[in-house]
Structure 1
Amino acid sequence: MSEQEQPDQPASHPRVGYLREEARKTQEAAATTEAIAQDLSTNPRYDAFFAPYQPSVRAHFVSDYTNQKMLWLRFGDFYERHLTGRLTQFEEEAYTRLWDIQQKKLFDLQCQWRAELVTLEGVVTSYDFANLSEAIENSTLIPPITREELDLYLRFVAQADYGNDLADRWGGRFSWQHYEDVKAAYADEDDEADEYPWRDEPPEWYLFHNQHTGHDQLLQLPDLRGQKEERYLDAWRNDTSKQPTASPAPDPAPPADPRPFALSYEEGLALQNKFAQEFESAQVNRQRTAYQAANPTATFDDEELERTLDFLQDLDEPVPIAAGPDWKTAVRQAAYEFRKQKLLTNLPLAFEAYHQRLAWGIAQPALSDREPHRLAEVVREHILAGRKLLGEPEDFNF
């Protein structure tokens, strides 16, 4: 076929680039493997090392060692970082949990700010508290952690359920400054809880703290600032909904298709089984049934147990396990209790290091590298627009 007769090449697709890169890596790994094997087999510098063995031993060694060295080269850096993290995991967890104390103090301050009992530098809307929470280690609005505050938190940790109240599986376990969720939970509004089932439960630390300080009274303060914000935001929303669109009226929407457009994991699996039963042979269905029986769908508890076993296998010290009717529960509880004791041991050390940095004027290590949410900035713009619509000054002096 001449050059002029070549068919049109398909448009570039991200998948094509990925496959090419994978092919390049495969070729590079094959070349490295061959070079390592060639060196081990023929380099005279190793002859004395293998002299006590017959040539067959060296040949077998070359094959095994080459495969192992390729694994070292491919995954060694990852596992080196993993091992380094194991050495400091309990100290890092204690440092992270130390800031729970400041999160509660910031929330209490938010309650007072909403009631217009205090003014805070840099805070002009209630949405600013989310950004303050994300960078709690840099906040100058709340005083440093005291020994009395640490002692109260240690008492909380000692009686806490580690799996539910302390484990940080996803990073940022709670929405620390979600005022509406915390206030609704304290109001015990059953009807509202049914209406908004997605609302976060307040952290157990908040409940414990309030029980021992009486700070739940702060939730009884009126949300004056929030009500004013809503007034301006409502004005902006109403104006936005009234604005005519420049584009022509869209064509009438086609009748809604009642068929599902997506399936949950469980629904998809059920559909696969139904399809197989209807269209596959009896042999394939027997194989399907056997495979599914040997590989059941993992539940959250299964995944948590796997994480727990991985954690325990990495430890270099014994972990006592209490007797119980279910070994899986006993293993998880043993790991949780172990981690809790490590936390109790390391929190005072994290506290001392925190105060040492304060004394030396050294910044506290960042908890996260996430950028501030832009929501606070957007809300500011909308509030100012609402104030303008209501004939008020475009500032936050309201």
Structure 2
Amino acid sequence: MIELPGVEVTRDFLCWEKAIASCPFLDPVTPNELSFYMDYLESGMQSDKNWFYNWQDYDTYRHAENCPEAIPAWYRYYDSKFGTDYLMMLPDKKGEEEKLYIREWRKQNSSSQEAELHEEELLTGPGPNLYVNYETLDFFISTFESRNLKDYFLAAELKPEDATNDAELQDALRILSRAGKNVTLPKAADWREAIITGAAQYKTSRIMANLPFVYDEYLFRLKNGIAQRPTDEDQTYQEYVAFTTLYRHQVSEGKKIADQK
């Protein structure tokens, strides 16, 4: 069994995804890796989907054989070059083991009076009102609920195709309006497609132009022991850690119960 620092349960991988710059078991990005990613951007395989945020959703990707678009384009490109797609066929032994322990913990605690909530608390909750964050809600459901419930949740969150296309168009117009110069649009059968594709190509070109400078700063900070720049993921990381702490406790207690049988 491979042991990694900072990883006790499978959900820890999702936490480190949100704090990737400080992940203790990843080596620094190499020039060859940067060059390979630049090749990916040039390949045309890149898919700029804002709803891709859960890069470690191993369970979903393992069951996406009939829907390859559900797997991030970067993963598919990497697999096509290194032949690593077979790794998705490997069994999730650790995950299945944790699910067993979680079930044991629930059996032990489902009838506990301490776990019961009064009707008023069930409706209003004992704490302050919380905002709804789709990403955090998805993480919570994936961590503590069944596969079927997660499928229902994802189905309920699907948006009509027209709404999705309109959102992509608005994003494309926003990108082009901030370009500060005229951007030549590619030929397309539909003007919306031309705008969306043109904006994506322009965005990719700007990323490629700036990546070397970002990488230089990254290396400078590493060399001088300076923390990497904070990101929008910091708040999400704290929320993930809170849920994972609870998950880790349930797995640990469930293991004790299973070992006693």
Task: Please give the TM-score of this superposition, normalised by the length of structure 2.
Answer: 0.71
Partner of 1:278: none
1:358 deviates by 1.1
1:318 deviates by 2.1
The SS at the match of 2:70 is coil
Q: How does 1:1-398 map to 2 (within 5 A)?
A: 116=1, 118-160=2-44, 165-168=47-50, 173-185=52-64, 188=65, 190=66, 201-243=70-112, 299-367=163-231, 368-370=233-235, 371-373=238-240, 374-392=242-260
Instruction: Report the CA distance shift for 1:389/1:302 in structure 2 as closer, same or farther (over 3 A).
Output: closer
Task: Please give the TM-score of this superposition, normalised by the length of structure 1.
Answer: 0.48
**Is 2:175–2:203's contact at 8 Å kept on the other side of the alignment?**
no
**Is 1:174–1:202's contact at 8 Å kept on the other side of the alignment?**
no
Q: Structure 2: state its 5+ residue gaps.
A: 120-161
The SS at the match of 2:188 is coil
Distance 1:307 1:176 in 2: 22
**Is 1:157–1:344's contact at 8 Å kept on the other side of the alignment?**
yes
Distance 2:62 2:6 in 1: 24
> Hey, which bits of structure 1, 4+ residues long, moved more than 3 A?
241-247
- Residue identity over aligned pairs, in percent, reads 27
**Is 2:79–2:85's contact at 8 Å kept on the other side of the alignment?**
yes
Q: CA RMSD in A?
A: 2.9
Give 1:313's aligned amino acid.
S
Instruction: Report the CA distance shift for 1:391/1:149 in structure 2 as closer, same or farther (over 3 A).
Output: same
Q: Which has the larger radius of gyration?
A: 1
Paired positions, count: 213
Give 1:388's aligned amino acid.
K
**Is 1:322–1:334's contact at 8 Å kept on the other side of the alignment?**
yes
RCO higher in 1 or 2 (8 Å CA, sep ≥ 6)? 2
Q: Structure 1: state its 5+ residue gaps.
A: 1-115, 194-199, 251-297, 393-398
Partner of 2:129: none
Instruction: Report the CA distance shift for 1:130/1:245 in structure 2 as closer, same or farther (over 3 A).
Output: closer
Give 2:70's aligned amino acid.
E
**Is 2:40–2:74's contact at 8 Å kept on the other side of the alignment?**
yes
